[in-house]
Amino acid sequence: MIFRIARCREGGKITHYDQYKVQIHKGMTVLDALFQIQDKMDPSLSFRYSCRGAVCGSCAMLIDKEPRLACRTQVSTIKENDMNLKPFHHLTYSPEGWDSESEVLIEPLPNFPVLKDLVVDMTKFYDALDKLKLWADPSTEEGPRAQSPEDRKKIERYVNCILCAICYGSCPVNHEQEKYLGPAALAKAWRFNQDTRTPNQERYLNDVQIAYGVPMCDLVMNCVKACPKGVAPGGAIKKMKS
């Protein structure tokens, strides 16, 4: 199978696409294919990875115009995938010569500056988390902060966020509005607002009401469809809007 991969050697934007013929085997993931290319054909190819088990979120990228984790995406099913995302430029632009029927197209995660090849600069993604101070300050009291199973269940899906930034990369608003905090940061704010162990829960809800926070979300719900862990940021944002 032919893999057509976006290349960028100096940072900034994609400069060209290279093609590689990959030997496919049963159970092969896109990350496996990238290893084969890097090990046997082109050691200069750059991409991020770590856990290889859909836990760290490092290998998020655009695979056949859909933002996915490379370690979780089976090569054999790529052509069957359809997230039905609302399109914007990165999801609709087709590089010259790409045969969508027979070639796998691999590109960096949208809405981020490219550092090299498939590696993007995620500074603004992490800056949004820092700006909202999305953590709980330690308790001054002795002993653990207890929580009932019922209360834990209320925040379960939001706790599952692995900060892969796929929601950010799939969002048309993030594509158009550089200041928008993005779905992950807003969903995490809701997670702390709903956590019974969190002191001053209301401050998380108040902090996201700034112009480039919750009000800027158009509830497109690409983030819900694309999230590999079922976090559904759009649902949390909808609740905060109301």
Per-residue model confidence (pLDDT) at position 11: 78
* Res. 139: pLDDT tops 80: no
Q: Render pLDDT for 26-58 as a digit per residue (tens, 0 to 9).
A: 999 999 999 999 999 999 999 999 999 999 999
Domains delineated in the chain: 2-120 (3.10.20.30), 123-241 (1.10.1060.10)
Q: Render pLDDT for 123-134 as a digit per residue (tens, 0 to 9).
A: 999 999 999 999
Work out the average pLDDT over 70-98. Answer: 95
- Residue 210 has phi, psi (to 5 degrees) of -65, 165
Confidence of residue 239 (pLDDT cuts 50, 70, 90): very high
Return the C-alpha torsion angle 57, 59, 61, 63, nearest 10: -110
Contact 64, 104 (CB under 8 A): yes
Per-residue model confidence (pLDDT) at position 26: 95
Q: What is the mean pLDDT of the chain?
A: 95
Buried b (16+ CB within 10 A) or exposed e, 57-82: bbbbbbbbbbbbbbbbbebeebeeee
Per-residue model confidence (pLDDT) at position 98: 96
* Res. 215: pLDDT tops 80: yes
- H helices present in 111-201, as ranges: 123-131, 149-159, 166-169, 172-176, 183-194
Q: Render pLDDT for 152-180 as a digit per residue (tens, 0 to 9).
A: 999 999 999 999 999 999 999 999 999 99
Work out the average pLDDT over 85-95. Answer: 95
Contact 115, 121 (CB under 8 A): yes
Distance between CA atoms of residues 63 and 73, nearest Å: 9
Please report, for residues 83, 214, 226, 235, 239, the alpha-carbon distance to residue 203 in angstroms, rounded to integers and kept in the order given: 34, 14, 28, 20, 16
* Res. 99: pLDDT tops 80: yes
Contact 227, 233 (CB under 8 A): yes
Confidence of residue 10 (pLDDT cuts 50, 70, 90): confident
Distance between CA atoms of residues 64 and 4, nearest Å: 10
Per-residue model confidence (pLDDT) at position 117: 97
Per-residue model confidence (pLDDT) at position 90: 94
**Closest alpha carbon to 112 in 125, 93, 130:** 125
Confidence of residue 70 (pLDDT cuts 50, 70, 90): very high
Q: How far apart are the first and last CA of the chain?
A: 48
The number of beta carbons lying within 10 Å of the beta carbon of residue 22 is: 19
Work out the average pLDDT over 93-98. Answer: 94
